[in-house]
Structure 1
């Protein structure tokens, strides 16, 4: 982290000063553009600190006495990258082999929670899901980071489909008795892409996939006694 901060003091500060100077001298640059341009050197600093931290953890493992007794270095300075909300993080780490099991592993990645084939960090997933509530998968992917990096709509869809949403069971302290309940029950037809996993739909004798379910829908409405009486009189 010290190297990143030192580089920022030498280079990053100059970039910020240049942005400030441009804003003062350029009549066409508005305050919004000024804010966005100021954020770029800071995002660059974030990326450098994150990369330097991961590489620092890797260096600790390489020099560790525990590591030398349990793991051997298989390959050094193996590059990796993933997308974060501050942009793409690029770093290098060491590939180790266990003396006991023969397992190959990136110890720094494991310590940081970076899994195999991980292309985006959790903060990006959170931003994408936050936006997908009100927008499409494509637009959510475009707003998943604070930079120009874009997450594909397929990746956003995969994260949404992997969510496990627990059923909310309301807690009732005291049950109330009412004289009138209005129950509206019906059914609907819903087309499925799959039941539990892709490709598990059965094909019927007619050659068509059985991909339709009929969920039962019910709405229960409790009305005040006076209101219920008025409805009854109208009927």
Structure 2
């Protein structure tokens, strides 16, 4: 069936169903679903025709007759976002080398053995970054797949890393690096850390809210802290002129893996984030607002002796062993991170750390907010996928970049076959409905709009 006949047959069926729907009282939403179904049907048939035309072009070519013999004709199914596409094409054997190939597949860069199209894979991966594998597999009613298929698509994609392309490096005097972790349940019963690090250029007020400028995320569940910080350093070196950077603030809760960043990032200055500092202060004062103010004043002044004095008062006021234990814990935490506390008061361009919120938004929303158990590979891939998506990465482009195209035809021959396929689509203007004398029917106006790449033709009077 040629392309013109495909258009005419399916559009005719659509017109009939629309008319039936209108007479039977179908709602706008139901009519939209009907149109969607037929547009997808039209798309799958066109794709099937493209493969058939490419294969026919090769059959008729002198190169094929000289070098390749037809072995048999095979059919394979490829699931796309529009639905199942059943492709029929010939299997060839090279007369000299004895190698076998589906040459039409190669010309159109259709990977061997794939049952799911790259575009659908990308869509499934994107959906799975925000919902369960099962829900992602059911999200498109025209291309439903199992949760296992969704997981396989993610595994096949591997680790996705997005580095924005820039013509030249940026010059900034200060960079901010913030870090925190989530705790993710795994199938072996253990909770493991999912670490989040993000780099930005400071905050800008937008109404009542502050927005971080040019944020870039890094996430992992690996225990390899060195690889994580080297990845952060590589990004900074690729994005910024390091010689112009005067300070890199590393803000966090004082965890060992966060402190380790100072060993990799030049000109780095540790900062203890106010959230965790205040958390331990509240533990120490036990609800005494006056004592809390005195302790906070001492910390903000960077006065270690005054801080020790106020903590001693907290200890003496404590009425239970539990409270006294909490005071000692707070004292140890604050003094272990004293340099980071001092730095927060020493440098005027230090800003508040919002790592808790970012961890919730980037990691917890998918990894730990619902009861689930991850495998090690799954949690690592999902944490990195979440960072990739929030960094603005294009999943389809990343998958396409990974693809290896092995074409046995010359570039010239490939272009020749593609041009012959194009000719089959240049006859859309010859569809009988477009040649009729009455130029006011709705089907005429719709198809004419498709022909010219627009649907801006007025339907009706």
Q: CA deviation at 1:71?
A: 1.1
Unpaired runs of at least 5, structure 2? 162-230, 262-269, 275-296, 308-461
From 160, 166, 172, the equivalent of 1:165 is 160
Give 1:50-199 correspondences, 5 Å limit. 50-75=47-72, 77-143=73-139, 145=140, 147-162=141-156, 163-166=158-161, 167=231, 169-170=235-236, 171-173=239-241, 174-177=244-247, 184-186=254-256
Relative to structure 1, the CA distance from residue 32 to residue 229 in structure 2 (aligned partners, 3 Å threshold; closer, same or farther) is same
From 44, 48, 51, the equivalent of 1:47 is 44
**SS of equivalent to 1:53:** helix
Relative to structure 1, the CA distance from residue 133 to residue 181 in structure 2 (aligned partners, 3 Å threshold; closer, same or farther) is closer
Q: Could you tell me which residue of structure 1 aligns to residue 168 of structure 2?
A: none
- Give a deviation string over 1:122-162, Cα, whole Å, max 9, x none: 1101111111111011111222x4x4331221121122123
**SS of equivalent to 1:184:** coil
Greater relative contact order: 1 or 2 (C-alpha under 8 angstroms, separation 6 or more)? Answer: 2
Q: Could you tell me which residue of structure 1 aligns to residue 300 of structure 2?
A: 230
Query: Following the alignment from structure 1 to structure 2, what is the Cα–Cα distance between the partners of residues 71 and 92?
Result: 18
Q: CA deviation at 1:41?
A: 1.5
Q: CA deviation at 1:119?
A: 0.2
Relative to structure 1, the CA distance from residue 67 to residue 178 in structure 2 (aligned partners, 3 Å threshold; closer, same or farther) is closer
Per the normalisation by structure 1, the TM-score is 0.72
Q: CA deviation at 1:83?
A: 0.3
Query: Following the alignment from structure 1 to structure 2, what is the Cα–Cα distance between the partners of residues 48 and 26?
Result: 28
Query: Following the alignment from structure 2 to structure 1, what is the Cα–Cα distance between the partners of residues 111 and 16?
Result: 39
Q: CA deviation at 1:62?
A: 0.9
Q: CA deviation at 1:5?
A: 2.9
Q: CA deviation at 1:55?
A: 0.8
Relative to structure 1, the CA distance from residue 101 to residue 19 in structure 2 (aligned partners, 3 Å threshold; closer, same or farther) is same
Q: Which moved more, 1:37-46 or 1:50-59?
A: 37-46
- Asked if 1 retains the 8 angstrom alpha-carbon contact of 2:78 and 2:84, the reply is yes
How many residues are aligned here? 198
Q: Could you tell me which residue of structure 1 aligns to residue 383 of structure 2?
A: none
Query: Following the alignment from structure 1 to structure 2, what is the Cα–Cα distance between the partners of residues 160 and 20?
Result: 39
Query: Following the alignment from structure 2 to structure 1, what is the Cα–Cα distance between the partners of residues 67 and 271?
Result: 66
Query: Following the alignment from structure 2 to structure 1, what is the Cα–Cα distance between the partners of residues 77 and 35?
Result: 24
Q: CA deviation at 1:221?
A: 3.4
**SS of equivalent to 1:128:** helix
Query: Following the alignment from structure 1 to structure 2, what is the Cα–Cα distance between the partners of residues 178 and 46?
Result: 52
Q: CA deviation at 1:217?
A: 4.9
Match status 1:221 vs 2:218: no
Relative to structure 1, the CA distance from residue 223 to residue 44 in structure 2 (aligned partners, 3 Å threshold; closer, same or farther) is closer
Relative to structure 1, the CA distance from residue 33 to residue 71 in structure 2 (aligned partners, 3 Å threshold; closer, same or farther) is same
Unpaired runs of at least 5, structure 1? 187-215
Query: Following the alignment from structure 2 to structure 1, what is the Cα–Cα distance between the partners of residues 87 and 64?
Result: 21
Q: Could you tell me which residue of structure 2 aligns to residue 3 of structure 1?
A: 2
Relative to structure 1, the CA distance from residue 87 to residue 179 in structure 2 (aligned partners, 3 Å threshold; closer, same or farther) is closer
Query: Following the alignment from structure 1 to structure 2, what is the Cα–Cα distance between the partners of residues 84 and 38?
Result: 18
